[in-house]
Structure 1
Amino acid sequence: MLTEKVHIAVPTAFFEDESLNIQGTISHIRDLYKQGVKSVLVSGSTGEQHSLSLQEKIEIINGLELEEELISNMEIIFGVASIRQKQAEELADKIRHTKISGIMLGYPPYVIPTQEEALVYTKTIINLSNKPTILYNNPKRTGFDLSEKSIIQLSKLDLVVGIKDAGNKGKVERIKKELHNNNLYFYAGGEVDLEERVSHGYNRLSSIAGNVSPTEISEWFEKIHMKQKVSTQESEKVANIMEQVYQGNAIVNLKQIINRKGIPIGICRSPIGNI
């Protein structure tokens, strides 16, 4: 089970030649851990997952496994997705034999599988990883939209604990009415329109802005979720954080802010950040 209400979707570090910088990635996770962050998503929703080769993802996992304090004391969730199911299967099997806490299972971009094909893909990878799983539905980026029927069917699997970006208000409400698993968590991807999404039934957060202000973002989300009053001062602070992160390209902004702290998160892989 994944117990943390908020996890931080961390960017992947790259050197100036765009090659993978595993220690830079781990340095950022270690800094978040020192700030009290209890859960991170690696190789996930910062838009870099599909730029990573299978071998690079395995190298990141190997690096994480050497960080005994982090992997023993944090919920580390690893993003699993590939345009080829065989590669996703190999990654899932690798994760099965690690202390990684769970996976976020994304769908292949561009190829647009049928719902039936997506169900086979999902069940195969979950069985291989044998880890608590958050389904990641992101039609804007992948072109594929996991249907209400498919989500409800997959929610019956013991290892499926949540879904990220299930859909609009109507879709979420209809799914909740039909759910057999009342413990299925609904994760909001990022902080944009967060209050509205919480009002529609989202009850967990896959945070982007938490990379730079984890305490402020977590406390803000908790108040929204618990329907507590957010003070004017807190609202202004969060608005400032949001402007820093989301004005322009969020991943480029994050890396600039993290680099300024002296943590070598590096650059993005072009065309992102090539201006």
Structure 2
Amino acid sequence: MLTETVHIAVPTAFLYDESLYVEGTVNHIRNLSKQGVKSVLVSGTTGEQHSLSLIEKLELIDGIEKEAELIQNMEIIFGVSSVRQKDAEELAEKISTTNFSGIMIGYPPYIKPSQQEAIVYTERLLQLSNKPAILYNNPGRTGFDLAEESIIYLSQYAEIVGVKDAGSVEKVARIKDAIHRNDFYFYAGGEVELVEKVAGGYNRLSSIAGNVLPKEISQWFNKLVEQQEITGRESEQIHSILEEVYRGNAIVNVKKMISEQGFPIGGCRSPIGNSLF
């Protein structure tokens, strides 16, 4: 079971020729661990997952698997998704042999599977990985929207702990009414409109800004969920960091900020990060 209310969605490090930089990714995770972070999501968000080949994802798994101390002290969640189900299956089988804590199941971009096709895809990856899983619904990027009926159906599997970006507040409310489990969670993908999402039923966070200020973002989110008072100073600090992260392209900004902290993580794969100036 995945127990942490917040995980940090870490960017993938690349060298300046855009080749995979496993050590840079691991160094950033180590730094987060030293700051008290207990859960990270690797290759599961930030818009970079589908730029990685299957071979690169397997290399990333191998690099993290060598870090016994990290795996012992953190929840390592790995994103499993591919345009081709066969590639996603190979990735799931690989993860089944690791000590990772869980997976996040993403849906193929562009091809728009039917709901039934997506369900079978999910069940297959769940079976092969033998890990707790979070469903990742991201229609804005993939073109596929996991229907509430599909989420409700998949919730019958105890291994599925929740869904990231289920949809509108109304959709979340209907799903909650239909699922009779206290251990099924709704993850917000990033901090945009987070106050409104928490008010509408989201109760876990897949954090982007936490790459930069993990302790502060986690404390803020937990106070929102628990309906605790947030001081003016805390609000100002959070507003300042979110403005810096989400002004323009968040992943470009976060990578720059991580590197400025002394942990070179490189840029993004073009065209992301292109500039005319």
TM range (shorter): over 0.9
2:207 maps to 207
Give 1:158 deviation, angstroms.
1.5
Q: 1:1-275 counterparts in 2 under 5 A?
A: 1-275=1-275
Q: 3-state DSSP class of the match of 1:125?
A: helix
Report the alpha carbon displacement of residue 95 of structure 1 after superposing the two structures with TM.
0.1
Q: How far apart are 1:4 and its partner, in Å?
A: 0.2
Aligned partner of 2:221: which letter?
F
2:142 and 2:245 mapped to 1: Cα distance? 23
Q: In 2, distance between residues paired with 1:244 and 1:175?
A: 34
Counterpart CA distance in 2 for 1:21 and 1:45 is 17
Cα shift at 1:26: 0.3
Query: Matched residues in 2 for 1:182 and 1:243: separation?
Result: 34
| Most deviating of 81-90 and 174-183 | 174-183
Structure 2: give runs of 5+ residues left out of the alignment. none
How far 1:70 moved relative to its partner? 0.3
Instruction: Report the Cα offset of residue 182 of structure 1.
Output: 2.9
Identity %: 66
Runs of 4+ in 1 over 3 A off after TM superposition: none
Per the TM alignment, residue 257 of structure 1 is displaced from its structure 2 partner at its CA by 0.6
**Cα distance between partner residues in 1 of 2:8 and 2:54:** 22
1:25 and 1:265 in contact (8 A); partners too? yes
Q: Given residue 221 of structure 1, which amino acid in structure 2 is its aligned partner?
A: F
State the distance in 2 between where 1:198 and 1:33 align.
Answer: 26
RMSD (Å), alpha carbons: 0.6
CA distance in 2, matches of 1:177, 1:113: 26
Tell me the TM-score normalized by structure 1: 0.99
Report how far residue 192 of structure 1 moved. Answer: 0.7
Deviation at 1:205? 0.3
Alpha-carbon deviations, 1:151-182, whole Å to 9, x = none?
00000012100100001011000001111333
**Helix, strand or coil: the match of 1:150?**
helix
Return the offset for 1:243.
Answer: 1.1
